[in-house]
A and B are shown apart, each in its own frame.
Chain A
């Protein structure tokens, strides 16, 4: 899996690269418009993270070029500009997703995985890990072939963890992803803990477990 990160802010670019490297992806980076353009012209990437404001040109112009060669569908726009215009234009040009800065690493991971999964699974859309099977389309969980009933939020939480397997998912990232972004998280850590507790009960027979990390977040690991 080859991923190109086009981002002019050095610190952010390096962080993103380091994070994605943990997933054993092949990472390439570009800090400006022209470098990015060259790389896009030469190689094919499975996923491209694209910043819009770039030294030397607008990221949307790159997107337009990608669209011409039918490679736009695996682009995730990452922008500080949460403007509707850019979002609409980006999606119109075929971008797969639009992520507004700042975002959690877990969120980025999930989005990248979602792009890759769509690309590879050809619409089958199910995840098999150890003795567990998650049918994304039907929103069903099977452990050892047996269906385990999950409510809507529990399914979302589990899915998010599966997209971030072996990675730290902070409570805030989880709350934002599952319950919406302007949630008052300080008040709701108890609620998250309560939700996780319920989910753990349902995963008792699974070979995967949700572990607490320093009280800041959780990690889905194989037993």
Chain B
């Protein structure tokens, strides 16, 4: 039992090396205020530092849509990843999917905004096949990686 606890503690520690949790009141005011302005409806907010950026995980809406957002020290939103449904995909992406991947099941759709650039990532599955695919807003496939 002790060993397990120890192992869990070690895991937790190693986890903190790459991404360190920070408390709300340790957060720079600029980041905090910017976040609050951008996502006024956020709930279940958890902050950590990651690669010199402040990463926040939170949920919105009634069904708890997952969000991941990265801010720089001045409070500028650098990147935002949002879990969306298939119906929320732009029409261009949807038609592309119907054409190129009919018969595949679509899973884990994320909308990722970096500055003005928006990409959509998702997992496509059929039998033993499994792909990780990324599109831009116009429906161009950016990458296709076997999973």
A–B touching in complex (CB under 8 Å): no
Give me the interface of A with B, judged by CB distance under 8 Å.
none
Give me the interface of B with A, judged by CB distance under 8 Å.
none
